[in-house]
Amino acid sequence: MKGRKNRILVTGGFGQLGRCLHSVSEYHIEFEFYFASSKDVDITNKESMTLFFKNNSFDYVINCAAYTNVEQAEKEPEKAFVVNTYGAKNLAQICKEKNIVLIHISTDYVFDGSKGKPYTEEDRTNPINEYGKSKLLGEQYIQECAHKYFIIRTSWLYSQFGKNFYKTILQKSATEKKLSITTSETGTPTNANDLAEFIIAIIKSTSSKYGIYHFSNLGESTWYDFAYEIVKVSNKVDVINIEKADNYPTFAQRPKYSVLSKKKSIESFGLNILSWDNSLNCFFRKNK
């Protein structure tokens, strides 16, 4: 129908990225968004999903629904696979059946971290923890089952919503005199609001260049670098001691180097991506 707005379903609509999409959606009134919780749309229940999509039509589905507790996934991998793998498969199948474009969020943890330089979309995957394995298998099912899809791998998300490293460091810097932060992992902190804008840019482009894309802010850092910059922008660098730690004991293995190359995304969608520290500074000024 002429003049009809594209309808966009956001699964996991009340998680960190879903809430960032809700924020930026206010500036994109040309689209009609529907933000769904797992009670509205349970992607792990094929029967209820079929009924939901029978009663509702969409042009795009942005899948933000995910099991993201990396540590707990080692202890209960079946729960991670139910959501990250089979939930993604269910969505891919129904999106193909209904001719819907699926935009799915994945992770830098599909890589093992041994490359030592930024990973491209074509590099060999080799996850070293259960979370990464569940996300990679979800990617593979989407590629098998869907024909219109964008898989976006991202890393180290933070925002004004939910629990994340940025908010944890701000809180701890207000209550503790010393923080010990690991330098053993290198990646890229990513402002989830910037990722939300990238997702909107894909939809606005009406591109049919389906496939896997990487998005994070530019540059690289350790968790120590990230923590130091958070404390610095909050003007607490003189009142708290942040010390480097060679390692931080975790149950799950994590890639030592998981920086993502954004070359394909920049060339395909004409992006102007901020460096991670510039984006953090902008974010802090907007949300302090």
Active site amino acids: 131
* 41 CB neighbour count, 10 Å cutoff: 22
Q: Which two tokens stand for residue 8?
A: 């966009």
Task: Find, among 104, 97, 98, 123, the residue nearest to 112 by Cα.
Answer: 123
DSSP 257: B
Is residue 195 within 8 Å of 259, Cβ to Cβ? no
Q: At what angle do helices 223-233 and 165-175 cross, to 10 degrees?
A: 60
Is residue 182 within 8 Å of 224, Cβ to Cβ? yes
Is residue 184 within 8 Å of 255, Cβ to Cβ? no
Is residue 135 within 8 Å of 110, Cβ to Cβ? yes
**For residue 219, how far is the Cα from the chain centroid?**
17
Check the CA dihedral 272-277-278-282 and report its sign.
positive
